[in-house]
A and B are shown apart, each in its own frame.
Chain A
Amino acid sequence: MPTYLFWIFSAMMLLGGAAVIVFRNPVSSALSVVACFLGLAGLFTGLSAFFVGIIQILVYTGAVMVLFLFIIMLLDLKDEDKRAPSLAPLLAGLGLVVAFVSQLLCVLSRSPDQIAPALDPQALAAAAGHFPAGEKIATALTAGRLPDVQLIGHMLFTGYNLPLQILGVILLVATVGVVVLSKRTQH
């Protein structure tokens, strides 16, 4: 991905994030989050993580943020009324962020930088040997394409079977929990 695209997506993401906390209206904040996540999905794509980028958009921007908006509508939230902004928490929060960012910069300035290894057709074709020949993955790799979705599926259903099952149970429990929680109590 060209560097300028990286910076564009990054800027979109960071500005979206900043907008979340700046806007007073929750709906605006939610839409800012959507913008932020779109930028993030761009960054994912730039990192050749196409599947993750897609589900970032589908799940987060599509499902989660719609859920947020739905709840905001449901609760019929208005603009946050202007409370007297207390200075101390503001300063403390900002101080925290500044401390964190300075630590981050410090760490990054010390750690050796790294350039992304190439994912050109030759390298991919070389990797095809690790997969059963004739199957989709090997074929695609030999052809010089990155079969991102197939690789993730392969990994998920070979190395992460049990966690996947558990994840299913977690989702089920969450579903039941949400139903129970949102049921009005009778009294």
Chain B
Amino acid sequence: MASLNDYLLVSGLLFAIGLAGVVLRRNIIIVFMCLELMLSAANLSLVAFSRFNTVNGLPNYHGQMLVFFVITVAAAEVAVGLAIIVALYRARLTIHTDDLTSLKG
């Protein structure tokens, strides 16, 4: 049976992978996917804590509530984000972040 720290380690590694992807990849869709990885890593931590801190002998469902909300909002976010990417692509014909530096001061 895996211990809490094992779960946290795995979750942290997944988060690190996501972070690395966000920082390193230039394709904005991949960056977006990596963001999802990071969210999921957080979810894993939440569920692990929920399971390891029982209330009245049952898992702490408040933690899973949060996971539920995160997943839902993430779905909405993905929808909006992808729509923005599509609009961006229409306008600029690229989704390569090196080419998208209009905010450069």
**A–B in direct contact per CB < 8 Å:** yes
Q: Is the interface of A mostly helix, strand, loop or mixed?
A: helix
In contact, B29 and A47 (Cβ under 8 angstroms): no
What residues on B are CB-neighbors of A123 within 8 Å? 57
Chain A residues in the interface with B (C-beta under 8 A) = 1-3, 6-7, 10, 13-14, 17-18, 20-21, 26, 29-30, 33, 36-37, 40, 43-44, 46-49, 51-52, 55-56, 59-60, 63-64, 67-68, 71-72, 74-75, 77, 80, 83, 89-90, 92-94, 96-97, 100-101, 104-105, 108, 111, 113-117, 119, 123-124, 126-127, 130, 146, 151-152, 155-156, 159-160, 163, 167, 170-171, 174-175, 177-178, 181-182, 184
What residues on B are CB-neighbors of A113 within 8 Å? 3-5
Give Cα distance in the complex from A51 to B19, angstroms: 27
- Chain B: CB-nearest residue to A166: B69
Give Cα distance in the complex from A27 to B68, angstroms: 27
In contact, A20 and B37 (Cβ under 8 angstroms): yes
Cross-chain pairs A/B with CB under 8 angstroms, 5 sampled: A17-B37, A75-B89, A151-B58, A174-B76, A174-B77
Give Cα distance in the complex from A177 to B84, angstroms: 10
Give Cα distance in the complex from A181 to B21, angstroms: 26
Which residue in B9, B36, B54 is a CB contact (below 8 Å) of A64? B36
What residues on A are CB-neighbors of B15 within 8 Å? 100
User: Which 7 A-B pairs rank lowest in CB-CB distance, beginning with the nearest?
Assistant: A93-B23, A174-B76, A21-B21, A17-B17, A181-B83, A104-B12, A127-B57
Whether A181 contacts B65 in the complex (CB less than 8 A), given A29-B33, A60-B36, A127-B57, comes out as: no
In contact, A182 and B87 (Cβ under 8 angstroms): yes
Give Cα distance in the complex from A49 to B17, angstroms: 24
In contact, A47 and B48 (Cβ under 8 angstroms): yes
**CB-contacts of B51-105 with A (<8 A):** 51-52, 54, 56-59, 61-62, 64-65, 67-69, 71-80, 82-87, 89-90, 95-96, 98
Given contacts A7-B2, A52-B68, 11 further A-B contacts (CB under 8 A): A10-B6, A40-B40, A60-B40, A67-B78, A77-B29, A111-B5, A113-B3, A116-B51, A119-B57, A151-B58, A174-B77
In contact, A17 and B18 (Cβ under 8 angstroms): yes
Give Cα distance in the complex from A36 to B37, angstroms: 8
In contact, B57 and A49 (Cβ under 8 angstroms): no
In contact, A29 and B64 (Cβ under 8 angstroms): no
Give Cα distance in the complex from A55 to B59, angstroms: 18
